[in-house]
A = this chain, B = another copy of it.
Amino acid sequence: MAGRSTRNGAGKGTILVTGSGIDARRLEVLRARGYDIRQPPPLLTEEQLARELKDVVAYLHGGEERATRAALESAKSTLKVVAFLGVGYETFVDMAAADELKMVVTFTPGAARDSVATFTVAQIINANLQMFRLIGNRYPDWKSVQDLPYELSARNVGIVGMGVIGSRIAEMLRRAFDANVAYYSRTPKKRLERTLGMEFKALPDLAEWSDILVVMVPGNSTTSSMIDDEVLGGVRPGTILINTARPSVVDPEALYTSMETGRIRLAAFDGFYSKDSEAAAKLLEDFGSRMIVTGHVASHTLQGMGRMLDQAVMSIDNLLSGKPDPHTVSAAARIPRRPPSSRPPG
């Protein structure tokens, strides 16, 4: 399947742009530099991606496809930059392959912070109130005291990951709703603890303490299945799990067990396990009515996408012009990686 391609004449090479909701006007900078833009339909298979990548000099990754070793290798003689739209590049780009192939990977930290945090807070309230059961029930009948949800100010909300987005979620919950917030992070954030009035807790303690457990860490090999049997076995019955991080952060079998025992009452995911995951299919089949699943869209606002796109375009422009770029994340980067403390969720 050949992608849509627009030619500007100068012929400096082709840039592949994947994903939907991409505002073409924000790519004009690159066209003006003399690059062609290729925009195929979304949800590319590995084979389709390999074909689309052929001869491209830069690849703006804005879709749900995996940039695998095989796909990247198909462009190894030309591809210089992989600009990932968002922060969770490790889930979507084979970083080892990119490093070996000397492709520079960039990301867009902070750009969709408010969008993702707002979406997450809405899902916290929705799950807490069981909003989706209330909708359409215009004249509700008898309700027992036991059915009444708790006010958010009477809830313990535990946040796993206190990076750019996690800290914004904490801020919203404290400033607007007066919820009790605690968090776990690789590195404690003393200043945030003081300004927002929240406590650091070790992960098992946080799990036990939380009425609502929110996961907001980058998806990578360190965080894969971070929310496992041990964590979910330690939550109190009736706990709500909100995962607006990558699905891989939560072990699907551990989640199944915790939903079976009732320790997890309701789970919200933005972005779900791969279509061929049996564990995921079983989750939906047996506990679908207790799962609120959206398709990795928390960052999808006009402003969030716009800022991400502008950052990615600038990174491509910088790196193709031989200039340094502040948002590189790969070993092949021309300037050093920023220290972990200023990086996104963690």
Contact = CB atoms under 8 A, between A and B. Distances in A.
B43 A153 contact: no
A137 interface: yes
A240 B239 CA distance: 33
A304 B152 CA distance: 11
How many copies of the shown chain assemble into the complex? 2
A262 interface: no
A298 to B, nearest CB: 9
Counting chain B CB atoms within 10 Å of each CB, the highest count among A64, A134, A138, A272 belongs to: A138
A204 interface: no
Contact of A294 (B21, B24, B134, B172): B134
Contact of A122 (B114, B131, B272): B131
A299 to B, nearest CB: 10
A294 B132 CA distance: 10
Contact of A301 (B149, B272, B301): B149
Nearest to A147: B21
Nearest to A292: B135
A125 B134 contact: no
Contacts of A150: 301-303
Given A145-B302, A154-B302, A302-B145, A295 B118 contact: no
A334 to B, nearest CB: 32
A143 B21 contact: yes
A295 to B, nearest CB: 4
Contacts of A301: 129, 148-151, 154
A137 B41 CA distance: 18
A305 B146 CA distance: 12
A78 interface: no
A272 B139 contact: yes
Contacts of A272: 138-139
Contacts of A137: 294-295
Given A151-B115, A151-B302, A302-B149, A140 B23 contact: no
A12 interface: no
B177 A139 contact: no
A289 to B, nearest CB: 11
A303 B151 contact: yes
Nearest to A131: B122
A144 B176 contact: no
Contacts of A275: 139
A148 B292 contact: no
A293 interface: yes
A182 to B, nearest CB: 18
23 contacts: A20-B142, A41-B142, A43-B141, A114-B152, A115-B151, A119-B129, A122-B122, A122-B126, A122-B129, A135-B292, A135-B293, A138-B293, A138-B295, A139-B275, A140-B295, A140-B297, A143-B300, A145-B305, A148-B300, A150-B301, A153-B303, A154-B301, A175-B175
Interface of A: 20-24, 41-43, 64, 114-115, 118-119, 121-122, 125-126, 129, 131-132, 134-145, 147-154, 171-172, 175-178, 272, 275, 292-295, 297, 300-305
